[in-house]
Amino acid sequence: MRQLFFIRPGVLEWRDVPEPKLEGSGDAIVRPVAAASCDLDIAIIRGEAPFLGPFPLGHDFVAEVVEIAPDVTAVQKGDIVIVAGSISCGKCGRCRRGLTGDCAAVPFLSMYGIGALGGDWGGAVSDLVRVPYANAMLVPLPSNLGLIDVTSVGDNAADAWHTVGPYLDAAPEAPILIVGGAGGGSIGLYAVAIARALGSAQVDYVDYDSKRLEVAQSLGGSPIEGWPASLGPYPITVDASADKRGLWCAIRSTEGNGVCTSTGIYYAPETPLPLQEMYMKGITFKTGRIHARSLIPKMLELVSSGSFSSAKIVSEQSDWDDAPRAFCEYTTKLLLTRS
Ligand SMILES: [Zn+2]
Ligand SMILES: [Zn+2]
């Protein structure tokens, strides 16, 4: 079968590899029908993230179930499903607490599409993918939802939800500051769209990229260009920049006893924080990989309500066959679909 490989920065190619087989009684084999770029992918492709090829790329996808093992009851052959990007069993203590990105049944960091660091699970841009723990990993896609709105709910969109959703549940109209820009920059834009959908009265969006600022405005955000030292203050802030200037802008714009969530990956071994100011103001700072599987239902609820759409965030759409070129050229969010 054909599988998309990241070879080295700027070079992706199709490779012929053996088809995956059912290995356990809870496995499924799925055929991806749509795949989206993750903000991390662009950093890998540009050589800005420390991932060495070759390895199969991609972990945001929607697929058709083509084969199931005897213990799989949650989905049937022919179902269209969202596949969580990280591998999770659904039964261990961590999974039951919603920490599905840190499942105790598999090695640390197990996920599709990031090479040796994530394990040998393959990548999303493949003819077939093996899904372990299919009862937990696969979420049937409601038939009325479009691929453009759901292909990233198993990763980037869920990541954005967790930066604003829990706090807007408690204070629905609270103003928010989002600093975007990391990788493709989609997470910050998702956060704008989700915050507006959940009721935030004011969503200010900081970025250095004029196109993303325009998209943020079209999603109901108020664009602010550049890297201000601080703004606001705001009770809820988001750093989706992966840039120290953006990180400091978000933290210093957080009001006393507010919450700042950072989704960016800082690859340097040390990144300074304004801890004295954070201490004085009593700021809660959160960072970490997303536990996306547990948040997929929240995102599907939002898409189903009609208040959220990814259509303006998807910057490029391409046919499946064109994946090697399309992944090297996309800007914010690429959607690949099989014709
Ligand atoms: Zn990702
Ligand atoms: Zn688990």
All residue ranges of the chain with pLDDT < 70 are none
Q: What's the gap in Å between 108 CA and the centre of ligand 2?
A: 11
- Residue 82's pLDDT is 96
- Residue 181's pLDDT is 92
Protein residues within 5 Å, CB atom, of ion ligand 2: 88-89, 92, 95, 103, 105
Q: Tell me, what amino acid is at 236?
A: I
Q: What's the gap in Å between 164 CA and the centre of ligand 2?
A: 25
Q: What's the gap in Å between 184 CA and the centre of ligand 1?
A: 11
Q: How far apart are CA 121 and CA 209, in angstroms?
A: 34
Q: How far apart are CA 196 and CA 168, in angstroms?
A: 10
CB 171 within 8 A of CB 198: no
Q: Which ligand is nearest to the CA of 100?
A: 2
Q: What's the gap in Å between 195 CA and the centre of ligand 1?
A: 20
The pTM of the full predicted model, rounded to 2 decimals, is 0.95
Q: What's the gap in Å between 277 CA and the centre of ligand 1?
A: 31
- Residue 88's pLDDT is 97
Q: How far apart are CA 328 and CA 279, in angstroms?
A: 43
Protein residues within 5 Å, CB atom, of ion ligand 1: 38, 40, 155
Q: What's the gap in Å between 337 CA and the centre of ligand 1?
A: 18
- Residue 275's pLDDT is 96
Q: Which ligand is nearest to the CA of 107?
A: 2
Scanning the structure block, which residue is given the tokens 């997929």?
Answer: 296
**Among 125, 170, 156, 110, residue whose Cα is nearest residue 2:** 125
- 217-235 residue pLDDT tens: 999 999 999 889 999 999 9
- 163-181 residue pLDDT tens: 999 999 999 899 999 999 9
Q: Which ligand is nearest to the CA of 37?
A: 1
- Residue 50's pLDDT is 86
- Residue 258's pLDDT is 97
